Structure 1
Amino acid sequence: MPAHRFPDLPGQVALPEQTRGTPAPLDLFNTAPAEAVQRILLTCLRSPHWAHRLTAHRPYPDLDALLAASDEAAYDLTPGDLAEALAAEALPELPEGVYSAAHTALSAAQAAYESRFGHAFVIYVDDLPPDEALDQILASIRSRLANDPEEERVVAAEELRRLARGRLVNALRGAGNCATSPNGAKPGT
């Protein structure tokens, strides 16, 4: 009888055997030294409080539990924690081949935003096709410039939470340490 069927349950497929060898990324995350985990987490969101909290609550039974803990810790950032995380962010990267006028428009919009709110503009655009990202970034900056500072703090905090979540998933998938800029966080994406 094939190994993938139960002998007394015709037509039922058994669970595949677990392969031995390389541990799953979440297992590595759960068992790595705290300092190493915190370094990785800080590349996803530059908040020591957030990184410490996620590290301290290990082990996580599955990715969904880790992401839920990440969200909760991000929602609980104090204004100081949020300011620290925002200070580490940078202007979103533009796709290759974008013409210089787009760079100029984005730089001007970013300067206006930073002048108004005192920190870099953050937005999560990983769910968008690359050819739509620039338009979404520019439209969002212009729209969010109309926010009052408290309203924008809430929006920026939500975007940081989404960024941290996406970067954390990428880190666990083995996409490196999430970092593509010298400040340790993938700029604005």
Structure 2
Amino acid sequence: MAHFNAADQRAAVATLLTCCRSRRWARLVAEHRPYPDLDALLAAGDEASFDLTPADLSEALAGEPSIRARPDARPWARIALTAAHEKYQRTFHHGFVIALDDREPTEHLNRVLADIHRRLSNEPEREREIAAEELRGLARSRLARLIADPVGRAPSESFR
């Protein structure tokens, strides 16, 4: 936490953009440093997430990496995930996002496929609300990993 709090504004914003791809979100979180602990940082990230405008949310969604099956996944799984994600993108004009920290890695692919198919029935406005909530969850988990391992790798966006 001390390293993050001491970083200059530009470096802090660049680091925060790895957690949520909204420049406004990253600036808001960086501007409120120093944080006394992880809980305060996570609360600030949540608050900044709720302050995103529709344009900020679009920027964050556009910056999210595409989900994909891992290279060692069975061919049917790669095909199913690719087809479902393409249909989702055509329907909602942004990539599918989901926070999976509450699931075992062996459940990720099935959860992603099930949720894509379930969420395809949503109205566009409802789906943006859900996507915003999933982004908040992703940002929280990425912030926690960032503080726990500041030189670690970006979180995986691949599923089995």
- Structure 1 length-normalised TM: 0.79
Greater fraction helix: 2
- Does 2:128 correspond to 1:153? yes
- Does 2:125 correspond to 1:167? no
Q: Which 5+ residue runs of structure 2 have no aligned equivalent?
A: none
Q: CA 1:67/1:53 → structure 2, altered by over 3 Å: closer, same or farther?
A: same
106-115 vs 126-135, greater mean Cα deviation: 126-135
State how far apart, in whole Å, the 2-side matches of 1:30 and 1:160 are.
23
CA contact (8 A) 1:92 1:187 kept: yes
CA contact (8 A) 1:95 1:130 kept: no
Rg (Cα) greater in structure: 1
90-99 vs 112-121, greater mean Cα deviation: 90-99
140-149 vs 85-94, greater mean Cα deviation: 85-94
Q: CA 1:59/1:81 → structure 2, altered by over 3 Å: closer, same or farther?
A: same
Q: Deviations over 1:152-189 (max 9, x none)?
A: 00000000011111111111111536536xxxxx5378
User: Could you list the runs of 4 or more consecutive aligned residues of structure 1 that deviate by over 2 angstroms after TM superposition?
Assistant: 90-97, 175-180, 186-189
- Structure 2 length-normalised TM: 0.92
121-130 vs 75-84, greater mean Cα deviation: 121-130
Q: Which 5+ residue runs of structure 1 have no aligned equivalent?
A: 1-25, 181-185
How do 1:38-187 and structure 2 match up within 5 A? Answer: 38-95=13-70, 97-174=72-149, 176=151, 179=154, 187=157
Aligned length: 159
Identity of paired residues, percent?
48
